[in-house]
Amino acid sequence: MSITYLVAMLHDRIHRARNAPSKGASAVEWVIITATVAVLAFGIAAIVIPAVTNKQQEIGDAFK
């Protein structure tokens, strides 16, 4: 799944939760939303950290 799709799903879910007659999301829904955001954050970190580490190594090697 692409990140764009997941973000769109999350926005839709939040919109439906805010506009529901109960005027709020249940605890289970907030856990699901929080878990989704956490997974996205860890996924982005898993991509960015190795890229930064590799670039750092390249820069360090250039000064040797």
Q: What is the pLDDT of residue 4?
A: 86
Of 37, 45, 44, 42, the C-alpha closest to 29 is: 37
Q: What is the pLDDT of residue 53?
A: 96
Strand, coil or helix: 64 = coil
Q: What is the pLDDT along the chain (64 residues), one digit of tens a residue?
A: 588 888 888 888 888 877 777 656 688 888 999 999 999 999 999 999 999 999 999 999 998 7
Q: What is the pLDDT of residue 57?
A: 94
Per-residue tokens: 51: 């890229």
Q: What is the pLDDT of residue 24?
A: 62
Q: What is the pLDDT of residue 63?
A: 87
Host H or E run for residue 48 = helix 27-62
Q: What is the pLDDT of residue 23?
A: 58
